[in-house]
C-alpha cells in the first residue's frame, strides 16, 4: 500500500530534489517573513521562474510545495514580533505571540512556534500519507456527475468557511469561474468572451492571472499601507531563539490536539490555514484556559494556532492530490501549476504518476525537517527581513512579476493583461472580497463545466444523472446543509439569547 511512498522517497532523495526542497523551504520562509508576501504571492512569483528552469513536474512541485510550507513557517514572525500577521493563516498567532514578545520572550516564542509548526505539520503529513491513498481508492469510483456534485460541495464549504461574508465569497467564486470561460470552448470550438482578440483564444493564462491578482494588487495595497497608521514599528529584542523542554511539555497537548484539528480543517475543501488557526485557537482556549491567561502571552495560545495552520497546509494536499479539488487558495495555485505540466490531479495520480504524488509527500517530510533546522538557528536572520523597506520590496516584486509573465511567450499583451487583472484584484480586495475563492473558481471552473457536460452527455441530457448515485446524493445533501446550517444556527441562537446590548 505504501509503495508510492517508497518510490516517493527515491524521487525526493535525489540530490537535485533535495536541493530544491531546501531552496523552497529557505525562499518560502523568507517570503513568508517579508511583509505582504504570503504563500500565494511567493508561489505566484516563483512559479514562472521554476517553469523556465525546465524542471520535471515532480521537482517543480517539490520546490513550490517547499515554498508553501516554508511561507506558513515564515508568516508567524511578523505576527510575533510586530503584531502584524504575515499572512491570513497567522492572524491568530498575534493574539498570544505578540504579548510574549512584549514580555521579552520573543526568542522563546519564535522557538516554540517553530517546534509547534513542526509538530502540527508532522501530524498532518502522516495523516496525508495514511488517508490520501484510501480516499483515492474511493474517488476512483467517481464519475463526472459525482465530480460535479463534489465541486458544488467544495464551493459551498468555501463560502461558509472562508472570509466573513458568504455572499462575497460566492460572488468571487462565480467571477473566477466566469474568467475561466474565456477562450475557445474545448467541446465545440466556439470562441467565448474573446471579443475577437487572438491573445484571448487560449483563455487568460494561469500565470498572468495569479501574478496579476496577487502580486500586482499587493503592490497597490502596500502603497496604501505605507500611508497607514503602523508604517513604522520597532522590533522587540529577540534574545536567544530556544525553547526549553519544560515549555514544550507544557504545550504538548495544545500542539497535538491542534495538529489533528488543523489536519481535518485542511482536508475540507475550501478551508485553509486561516480557518484552522481560528478553530484551533478557540478550541484550545475553551479547553485549557483555566486562569484567563490566553491573550496575555500564554504559550499554549501560541502553540495551538501555529500547529493548526501548518497542519492545515499539509492537510489541504489530501483533496488536491486525491480529488483534484484544492483545499485552500494556495493549493489551488499548486493545482494550476500541475496543470501547466499537463497533469490533472485526481484519484488516478497515485497509480498513474506515483512519482509525483509520492515524491511530493516524501518531500514534505524532508522539507519539514529542513524547516525546523533552518528556523531555530536562523530566526534572527529571517527576522531582519521583516524591516525590509517597501522601496526595496515593491520594485523587486514588480521586476519578478514582469519578467515572470514576459518570459511565458515573450509577449507584451500578457503584461497588459496582468496589469488589468491586478487592478481588478485590488478593487476586489478593497471591496472586502477574499481572493482565494476567485482563484479557486478560476482553477475549478473549466473542470466543473467539463464534468457537467460529460455527465449530461452520458445521460443524453437527462438532468437526473446529477443525483443518481449514493455518493452524489450525499454530496448534494452535505452542500445544502453547509449553506443552510449557519443561517439556521444563527437564527436559533439569536432567538435564545436576546440582544443584551
Q: Are 173 and 289 in contact (CB under 8 A)?
A: no
Q: Are 57 and 354 in contact (CB under 8 A)?
A: no
227 in contact with another protein (CB under 8 A):
yes
Nearer to another protein by Cβ, of 130 and 403: the residue is 403
Q: Which helix (H) or strand (E) holds 202?
A: none
CB environment 284-301: b (16+ within 10 A), e (fewer): bbeebeeeebbeebbbbb
Query: Which listed range, 124-132, 174-182, 330-338, 354-362, lies at the site for another protein (CB under 8 A)?
Result: 174-182
C-alpha distances (whole Å) from 19 to each of 62, 208, 330, 449 are 10, 28, 22, 39
Q: Which of 134, 140, 141, 192 binds another protein (CB under 8 A)?
A: 192
User: Residue 184 — φ and ψ, nearest 5°?
Assistant: -75, 135
Interface positions, 71-110, toward another protein (CB under 8 A): none
409 in contact with another protein (CB under 8 A):
no
HEC string for 10-70 = HHHCCHHHHHHHHHHHHHHHHHHHCCCCCHHHHHHHHHHHHHHCCCCHHHHHHHHHHHHHH
Binding mask 450-479 vs another protein (x if CB under 8 A, - otherwise)?
Answer: --xx--xx--xx------------------
Nearer to another protein by Cβ, of 124 and 415: the residue is 415
Nearer to another protein by Cβ, of 204 and 366: the residue is 204
The C-alpha atoms of residue 72 and residue 75 are separated, in whole angstroms, by: 5
Q: Is 128 exposed, middle or buried (0-12, 13-18, 19+ CB in 10 A)?
A: buried
Identify any residues that bridge with 183 across adjacent strands, giving them in sequence order.
192
Q: Which of 311, 274, 276 is nearest to 126 (CA)?
A: 311
| Half-sphere CA count of 68, side-chain side, radius 13 A | 33
Q: Which of 67, 449, 465, 476 binds another protein (CB under 8 A)?
A: 449
143 in contact with another protein (CB under 8 A):
no
Residue appearing with cell numbers 492530490: 321
Query: Which listed range, 65-73, 166-174, 201-209, 319-327, lies at the site for another protein (CB under 8 A)?
Result: 166-174
Interface positions, 354-393, toward another protein (CB under 8 A): 389-392
Q: CB of 175: closest distance to another protein in angstroms?
A: 7
481 in contact with another protein (CB under 8 A):
no
Interface positions, 13-42, toward another protein (CB under 8 A): none
Nearer to another protein by Cβ, of 318 and 414: the residue is 414
Interface positions, 49-68, toward another protein (CB under 8 A): 49, 52-53
The C-alpha atoms of residue 47 and residue 459 are separated, in whole angstroms, by: 40
Nearer to another protein by Cβ, of 399 and 477: the residue is 399
Nearer to another protein by Cβ, of 102 and 390: the residue is 390
Q: Which of 399, 484, 485, 492 binds another protein (CB under 8 A)?
A: 399
Q: Which three cell numbers stand for residue 295?
A: 491573550
Q: Which of 287, 430, 484, 491 binds another protein (CB under 8 A)?
A: 430
The C-alpha atoms of residue 490 and residue 156 are separated, in whole angstroms, by: 17
Nearer to another protein by Cβ, of 72 and 146: the residue is 146
202 in contact with another protein (CB under 8 A):
no
Query: Which listed range, 21-29, 66-74, 108-116, 404-412, lies at the site for another protein (CB under 8 A)?
Result: 404-412
C-alpha distances (whole Å) from 245 to each of 108, 112, 232, 242, 352 are 11, 10, 35, 10, 45
197 in contact with another protein (CB under 8 A):
no
Q: Which of 292, 410, 497, 500 binds another protein (CB under 8 A)?
A: 410
Q: CB of 226: closest distance to another protein in angstroms?
A: 6
The C-alpha atoms of residue 204 and residue 194 are separated, in whole angstroms, by: 10
Residue 191: which region, alpha, beta or left (left: phi > 0; alpha: psi -120 to 50)?
A: beta
The C-alpha atoms of residue 272 and residue 434 are separated, in whole angstroms, by: 12
User: Residue 321 — φ and ψ, nearest 5°?
Assistant: -75, -35
250 in contact with another protein (CB under 8 A):
no
Q: CB of 436: closest distance to another protein in angstroms?
A: 17
208 in contact with another protein (CB under 8 A):
no
Nearer to another protein by Cβ, of 299 and 428: the residue is 428
Nearer to another protein by Cβ, of 133 and 183: the residue is 183
Nearer to another protein by Cβ, of 358 and 445: the residue is 445
- Residue ranges in contact with another protein by CB under 8 A: 49, 52-53, 165, 167-168, 170-171, 174-175, 177-178, 181, 185, 187-188, 190, 192-193, 216, 219-220, 222-224, 226-227, 389-392, 394-396, 398-400, 402-403, 406-407, 410, 412, 415-416, 419, 423, 430-432, 449, 452-453, 456-457, 460-461
Amino acid at each position: 500500500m505504501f509503495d508510492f511512498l517508497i518510490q516517493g522517497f527515491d524521487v525526493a532523495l535525489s540530490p537535485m530534489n533535495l536541493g530544491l526542497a531546501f531552496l523552497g523551504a529557505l525562499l518560502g520562509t523568507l517570503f513568508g517573513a517579508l511583509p505582504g508576501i504570503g504563500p500565494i504571492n511567493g508561489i505566484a512569483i516563483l512559479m514562472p521562474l521554476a517553469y523556465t528552469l525546465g524542471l520535471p513536474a515532480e521537482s517543480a512541485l517539490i520546490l513550490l510545495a517547499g515554498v508553501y510550507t516554508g511561507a506558513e513557517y515564515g508568516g508567524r514572525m511578523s505576527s510575533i514580533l510586530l503584531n502584524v500577521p504575515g499572512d491570513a493563516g497567522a492572524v491568530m498567532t498575534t493574539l498570544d505571540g505578540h504579548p510574549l514578545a512584549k514580555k521579552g520572550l520573543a526568542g522563546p516564542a519564535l522557538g516554540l512556534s517553530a517546534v509547534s509548526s513542526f509538530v502540527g505539520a508532522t501530524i498532518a503529513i502522516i495523516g496525508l500519507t495514511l488517508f490520501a491513498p484510501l480516499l483515492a481508492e474511493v474517488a476512483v469510483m467517481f464519475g463526472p456527475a459525482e465530480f460535479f456534485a463534489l465541486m458544488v460541495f467544495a464551493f459551498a464549504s468555501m463560502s461558509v468557511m472562508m472570509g466573513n461574508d458568504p455572499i462575497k465569497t460566492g460572488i468571487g467564486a462565480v467571477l473566477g469561474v466566469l474568467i475561466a470561460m474565456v477562450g475557445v470552448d474545448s467541446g465545440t470550438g466556439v470562441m467565448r468572451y474573446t471579443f475577437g482578440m487572438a491573445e484571448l483564444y487560449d483563455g487568460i493564462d494561469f500565470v498572468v492571472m495569479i501574478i496579476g491578482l496577487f502580486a500586482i494588487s499587493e503592490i497597490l495595497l502596500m502603497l496604501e499601507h505605507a500611508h497607514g497608521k503602523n508604517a513604522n514599528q520597532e522590533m522587540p529584542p529577540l534574545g536567544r531563539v530556544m525553547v526549553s523542554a519544560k515549555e514544550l511539555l507544557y504545550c504538548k497537548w495544545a500542539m497535538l490536539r491542534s495538529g489533528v484539528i488543523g489536519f481535518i480543517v485542511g482536508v475540507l475543501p475550501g478551508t485553509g490555514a486561516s480557518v484552522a488557526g481560528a478553530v484551533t485557537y478557540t478550541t484550545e482556549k475553551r479547553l485549557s484556559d483555566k486562569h484567563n491567561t490566553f491573550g496575555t502571552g500564554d504559550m499554549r495560545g501560541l502553540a495551538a494556532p501555529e500547529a493548526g495552520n501548518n497542519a492545515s497546509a499539509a492537510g489541504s494536499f489530501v483533496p488536491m492530490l486525491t480529488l483534484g479539488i484544492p483545499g485552500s487558495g494556495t493549493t489551488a495555485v499548486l493545482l494550476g501549476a500541475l496543470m501547466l505540466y499537463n497533469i490533472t490531479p485526481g484519484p488516478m495520480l497515485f497509480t498513474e504518476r506515483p512519482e509525483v504524488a509520492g515524491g511530493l509527500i516524501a518531500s514534505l517530510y524532508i522539507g519539514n525537517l529542513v524547516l525546523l533546522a533552518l528556523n531555530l538557528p536562523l530566526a534572527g536572520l529571517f527576522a531582519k527581513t521583516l524591516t525590509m523597506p517597501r522601496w526595496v520590496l515593491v520594485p523587486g516584486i514588480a521586476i519578478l512579476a514582469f519578467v515572470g509573465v514576459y518570459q511565458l511567450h515573450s509577449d507584451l499583451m500578457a503584461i497588459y493583461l496582468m496589469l488589468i487583472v491586478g487592478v481588478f484584484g485590488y478593487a476586489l480586495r478593497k471591496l472586502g472580497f477574499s481572493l482565494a475563492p476567485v482563484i479557486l473558481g478560476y482553477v475549478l471552473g473549466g473542470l466543473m463545466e467539463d464534468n457537467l457536460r460529460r455527465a449530461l452527455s452520458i445521460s443524453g441530457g437527462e438532468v437526473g444523472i446529477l443525483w443518481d448515485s449514493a455518493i452524489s446524493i450525499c454530496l448534494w445533501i452535505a452542500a445544502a446543509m453547509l449553506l443552510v446550517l449557519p443561517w439556521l444556527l444563527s437564527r436559533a441562537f439569536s432567538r435564545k439569547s436576546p440582544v443584551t446590548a
